[in-house]
Amino acid sequence: MKKSSPFFTEEKRYLGSIVLGMNDALVELTGALAGLTLALQNTKIIALVGLITGIAASLSMASSEYFSRKTERSKRKPLLAAFYTGSVYFLTVLILISPFFLFSNALLSLSFTVLNALLIIAAFTYYISYIQNISFKKRFFEMALVSLSIALLSFVIGYLLRIWIGVEI
C-alpha cells in the first residue's frame, strides 16, 4: 500500500521526470567533476567547465524529456515534464559544483561533491521509499553504487588522459 504524502502532490505524477533529471545529473556531473579534478586540478576552472557542462546538459535533458513525452503522447504534460527534468538537473548541478567555488583544493572539493551526491541520493531515496513503500537501504545502495562507480571510473580516465595528453595546469 502506498503511503500518501501531503507534499509534492503534483510532483508525484512527474516522479519519472524528476528521477531522470536528478540521476542523470548525479551520474554525469559527478563523473565529469571527478575526471576534471585530476585532469585540470584548478577548482575555478573545474567549476567553470562543470557549470557550462551542467547548464548545457540540463537544457538538453529538458528538451529530450519534452520530445519524449510528446512522442509517446503521455498523460503528463510535455512542457511540465521538461521543466521538472531540467530544473532538478540544474539544481543538482549547483549542489555538486558548489564545493569547487568554496575551496581551492581540488581533491577537498571533489570529496565534498561526493558527500553532496550521497546526501542528495539519501534525501531522494527517503522520499521515494516513503511514498512507494519500498526499502530505503536497497534503493540507496543501488543508486550510490552506480553514481560513485561512474565517478571513480571518470576519475581514473581523467588521470590517464592527463598523462597521455600531457596537460599540466
Q: What is the pLDDT of residue 11?
A: 60
Q: Please, what is the average pLDDT of the chain? A: 87
Query: At a CB cut-off of 8 Å and minimum separation 6, what does 62 contact?
Result: 21, 82, 83, 85, 86, 87, 89
Q: How far is CA 116 from CA 66, 99, 101, in A?
A: 28, 9, 14
Q: Is the pLDDT of residue 3 over 60?
A: no
Query: At a CB cut-off of 8 Å and minimum separation 6, what does 158 contact?
Result: 34, 35, 36, 37, 38, 39
Q: What is the pTM of this model?
A: 0.83
Tens of pLDDT, residue by residue over 129-161, are: 888 888 899 889 998 998 888 878 887 887 788
Tens of pLDDT, residue by residue over 12-25, are: 778 888 888 898 89
